[in-house]
Amino acid sequence: RHKFWETQPVGQFKDVGDSSLPEGPIEQPTPLSEVKQEPYNLPALYEWITCDLATDEMCGEVYNLLTHNYVEDDENMFRFNYSKEFLQWALRPPGHYKSWHIGVRVKSSKKLVAFITGVPARVRVRDEVVTMAEVNFLCVHKKLRSKRLAPVMIKEVTRRVHLENIWQAAYTAGVVIPTPIATCQYWHRSLNPKKLIDVGFSRLGPRMTMNRTIRLYKLPESPVTPGFRKMELRDVPAVTRLLRGYLSQFAVATDFNEDDVEHWLLPKENVVDGYVVESPLTHEVTDFCSFYTLPSSILGNPTYSTLKAAYSYYNVATKTPLLQLMNDALIIAKSKDYDVFNALDVMENESFLKELKFGPGDGKLHYYLYNYRLRQPIKPSELGLVLL
Ligand code: YNC
Ligand code: MG
């Protein structure tokens, strides 16, 4: 049934729950000299390129491919529209490898028709911190679908990850392949209900009028928590301590150091937002919340072309109730003109979703590990990992 995935070192469906198999790496590393030194073969009309995302030109080509060919919802009403600034942030973290930003072009026209990326990350699985590749942005041009190009893209990124002596990966997808370590759900909190209804993102509830709906989702003008402010560079050590302490409770979680926190959580306009609560009395940083910005193109609507969405990222509450902290995040997002605030049911998010008027989305997000077996899938609430 999965001609490609059945050949890969991933948990296979037939092995789920088999407690005679150990947890951990499925295959052992091989000496680097035994890693294939040449790229995999592509159909003759195409060639591999390594994308230099530091250049505006290359970044623009990738942006155009993804804008027209990347992930859509099941009804093909919306398509992710990652910005160029976001792509540079997502793909150039500390220690990134340029060789893991892989494109495929048509030889004759030089047109970019496929893409896949990895970035290095430390992911803790139970007690073990494993250096992995986080693989993302797999995209094949709509006109080249179902030609088995995706397996070649995946094998090539795997080869280039192996060349850096890294043997595991983490990734998420909307499709089910062998074998999810967790299956999560997106929840959506309307900030601009009128627009969301107009574009078909949401529907007017039964016995609801537009005015009642607008009132239902109304939020205060500004955050309510005393000491709530934008995160600054000087907060990096405190935020790192908070995050490390918080994430230690989850079965699978990111292992952040200060350099990672500076890159991934320090606010970057229209890319990532981070806020702290600094105690007005002690000036101690006690809480932290963050979201990233990922608009979607609205396909075929005469009035609106983009949906401005915020996605909950990492949040840590030690003094402020998590519910209040996230309500403040909603208030900030609303004040910055986002239309919707999305969150997965990972970490402790279930504790605030219903109360803060998030509604469940359709479609699931599956989490995967490459070459690392878990005996059983874990619950979303055991995941402390958010991929972009
Ligand atoms: C997917 N999303 O099952 P089997 S998520 C992984 N992730 O293989 P073809 C996928 N595998 O089942 P198409 C996948 N989607 O026969 C499909 N597959 O074993 C598998 N969409 O290939 C599929 N982006 O080329 C099947 O399919 C085989 O032309 C079929 O191309 C697929 O970034 C795709 O949703 C997704 O652009 C490129 O549909 C195309 O349809 C497309 O005939 C819109 O492929 C955009 C989209 C996916 C977003 C993402 C995470 C990707 C993870 C990839 C796996 C990484 C493994 C770790 C590598 C490093 C290892 C180390 C160390
Ligand atoms: Mg294909």
The 10s digit of each residue's pLDDT in 42-72 is: 999 999 999 999 999 999 999 999 999 999 9
Q: Are residues 156 and 202 in the same domain?
A: no
Overall average pLDDT of the 96-103 stretch: 98
How many domains is the chain partitioned into structurally?
2
Domain boundary, last residue among 174, 208, 226: 174
Q: How far is the CA of 352 from the centre of ligand 1 (A)?
A: 33
Q: What distance in Å separates the CA atoms of residue 118 and residue 104, rounded to the nearest whole number?
A: 15
What CATH number is given to the structural domain containing 29? Answer: 3.40.630.30
Domain boundary, last residue among 174, 198, 223: 174
Has residue 257 got a pLDDT over 90?
A: yes
Domain boundary, last residue among 111, 143, 174: 174
Q: Out of 71, 138, 154, 388, give the residue to mutate to test ligand 1, the one with the largest number of ligand atoms within 8 Å of its CB.
A: 138
Has residue 230 got a pLDDT over 90?
A: yes
Overall average pLDDT of the 102-117 stretch: 98
- Spell out which residues line ligand 1, taking CB within 6 angstroms: 2-5, 69-71, 133, 135-140, 145-151, 154, 157-158, 161, 166-169, 171, 173, 175, 177, 370-371
pLDDT of residue 358: 98
In tens, the pLDDT along 67-97 reads: 999 999 999 999 999 999 999 999 999 999 9
Q: What distance in Å separates the CA atoms of residue 319 and residue 286, rounded to the nearest whole number?
A: 6
- The residue segments making up the domain with residue 124 are 5-174
Complex ipTM above 0.85?
yes
Token pair 């995302």 is found at 53
**What radius of gyration do the chain's Cα atoms show?**
21
pLDDT of residue 196: 98
Q: Are residues 331 and 205 in the same domain?
A: yes
Overall average pLDDT of the 128-152 stretch: 98
In tens, the pLDDT along 354-381 reads: 999 999 999 899 999 999 999 999 999 9
Query: Average per-residue pLDDT in the chain?
Result: 98
Q: Are residues 160 and 288 in the same domain?
A: no
Q: Are residues 295 and 331 in the same domain?
A: yes
Per DSSP (E only), the strands in the chain are 46-50, 78-80, 101-106, 112-125, 128-140, 168-173, 182-190, 228-230, 252-254, 272-278, 285-293, 296-298, 306-307, 309-312, 316-317, 340-344, 359-370, 383-384
pLDDT of residue 17: 84
Q: Are residues 165 and 34 in the same domain?
A: yes
Q: Are residues 193 and 218 in the same domain?
A: yes
What CATH number is given to the structural domain containing 271? Answer: 3.40.630.170
Q: 163 catalytic, yes or no?
A: no
